[in-house]
Amino acid sequence: MSLHIGLYRPEIPPNTGNIARLCVALGAELHIVGQAAFDLSEKAARRAGLDYWDKVRISQHSSLEDYKAALPSDSDLYLVSIYGSRSYTSVRYKDGDAFLFGSETSGVPEEMKKSWNAERILKIPMEDSSRCLNLSNSVAVISYEAMRQIRSW
């Protein structure tokens, strides 16, 4: 098993490339949920992922429902959002858990947030003067915390 990193309609190729490389480093699986705003073979995405692309376990899903169906049955799926009320550090993660990160400019649709279990909407605490972190930084912060707990890193 491993972590599952879901990106909802990613828009910036270098972010996705960085996240792909991170997934290889963590042994995580990358999931693209919905249509990316670019082709994964785009030069900027390839460059950010360096020579790791052939090692990335990557899946594409047309919808959130398809992503959920691809996850192990015992996975807990967390939405990561600046609107979350629960800090990512308050969760006890387990092998096979999954995350969904929204697109860089618009996050996830409002109806998706409203339908999500509030206990599973996580945030990364930050100063009020900051609107948000870069997507690839957010994925790294939360993924490494999960792996620290799972593998005692």
Half-sphere exposure in the Cβ direction for 42 (13 Å, CA): 15
Tell me which architecture the domain covering 4-151 has in CATH: 3-Layer(aba) Sandwich (3.40)
The pLDDT of residue 22: 96
Count of helix runs (H) and strand runs (E) in the chain: 5, 7
80 belongs to an annotated ligand binding site: yes
150 belongs to an annotated ligand binding site: no
pLDDT tens-digit profile of 22-72?
Answer: 999 999 999 999 998 888 776 766 665 567 788 999 999 999 999 999 999
107 belongs to an annotated ligand binding site: no
Domain map of the chain by residue range?
A: 4-151
Q: What does the pLDDT average to over 77-90? A: 95
The structure's pTM equals: 0.92
Crossing angle of helices 135-151/13-26, nearest 10°? 10
The pLDDT of residue 14: 87
The pLDDT of residue 45: 62
19 phi and psi, to 5 degrees? Answer: -65, -35
